[in-house]
Amino acid sequence: MKYGKINGIDKPISRLVQGTVSMEGSPEAEAAEFAFLDSVLELGCTTFDTAHVYGSGKNERAVGKWVNSRGIRDKVVIIGKGAHHNQDRKRVTPFDISADIHDSLARFGFDYIDLYLLHRDNPAVPVGPIIDVLNEHLDAGRIKVFGGSNWSTERLEEANNYAKKNGLVPFTVSSPNFSLAEQFKEPWAGCISISGNQGEAAREYYLKEKMPLFTWSSLAGGFFSGRFNRDNLASFTEYFDVLCVESYCYEENFERLDRVKKMAKEKGLSIPQIAMAYVMNQALDIYALVGCRTTEEFKQNIDAMSLELSQAELDWLNLKA
């Protein structure tokens, strides 16, 4: 495992971040879920991704119970996310941010959240009150570091300029989508991707600012799972598979996939491992969120993270050579 450091968090942050969205926390599922998290922790994963919206609270309760039952709060980095929109309104407001933080702390049974991300943005509202309330929770010790998930670089810069002008702590991290595949259609409204040609300016911004990135969907919604081919797209009917077809299954990405397959064969690795290695070999300060379901799958991601790719290989995979 490789680790990074972010000011404000006094623990090593694993470069692979295990997602917990699928955790039920039910009596029937608890033993298997906890055993899996134990195994991932043993492999060196210190960082776990959660959200207020996942499972209507079940996710946070389950993660909190696991952490507290193992007595490992001082060893793990918990990512919490809040202020997600609902079907009635956009909830990026000081009230909703505060309510979600207090809800999450109660569900976890924690005194603080290591890294807090606003799960969505609402560009129609001013950034000032958002920065103000996040600093209030930071000063109170409820959160240690904060950032934005699916926030544009323009909005991040606007928020951080406000923070600087007013002597406040700015957004420290960002969590956009990033993978080898270009996102031709948003999987949902307000999704921010820094992949492909469309994301070049954002990647340059993050390089310049040296801002840590907690990138999600390294396999492009499953496009690099090996299941999607040019001639079988009509066969997919499951919701997330259809999203992948609509967002990523275009000829340019299939050309990338062809090259991934060729490199995987040459290096004796799998298609997902090459796709993950592409993400982890960027010059950006990346922590990749993964949704592994088995210990073996997590081990494969560790192997992929260890694979060093040259700039020429990265360019070739991305159709630039």
> pLDDT by residue for the chain (321 residues), tens digit each?
999 999 999 999 999 999 999 998 889 999 999 999 999 999 999 999 999 999 999 999 999 999 999 999 999 999 999 999 999 999 999 999 999 999 999 999 999 999 999 999 999 999 999 999 999 999 999 999 999 999 999 999 999 999 999 999 999 999 999 999 999 999 988 899 999 999 999 999 999 999 999 999 999 999 999 999 999 999 999 999 999 999 999 999 999 999 999 999 999 999 999 999 999 999 999 999 999 999 999 999 999 999 999 999 999 999 998
Q: How far apart are CA 118 and CA 100, in angstroms?
A: 10
In this structure, is residue 227 part of a structural domain?
no
Which H or E element spans position 26?
none
For tokens 């570091």, the residue is 145
Structurally, the chain folds into a number of domains equal to 1
In this structure, is residue 254 part of a structural domain?
no
In this structure, is residue 253 part of a structural domain?
no
Given a contact cutoff of 8 angstroms between Cβ atoms, the answer to whether 308 and 273 are in contact is no
> CA gyration radius for the chain?
19
Which 3 state secondary structure label does DSSP give 131?
helix
In this structure, is residue 128 part of a structural domain?
yes
pTM value? 0.96
Helices (H), the chain: 27-42, 58-70, 94-108, 128-139, 153-165, 200-209, 239-248, 251-267, 271-280, 295-306, 311-317
Measure Cα distances from 217 to 17, 19, 56, 93, 273 in Å: 12, 11, 22, 27, 13
- From the number of C-beta atoms within 10 Å of its C-beta (0-12, 13-18, 19+), residue 274 rates as buried
Domain around 72? 3-222+270-309
In this structure, is residue 50 part of a structural domain?
yes
Buried b (16+ CB within 10 A) or exposed e, 45-58: bbbbbbbbbbbeee
Q: How far apart are CA 138 and CA 202, in angstroms?
A: 27
In this structure, is residue 132 part of a structural domain?
yes
In this structure, is residue 207 part of a structural domain?
yes
Q: What is the CATH number of the domain that holds 51?
A: 3.20.20.100
In this structure, is residue 288 part of a structural domain?
yes
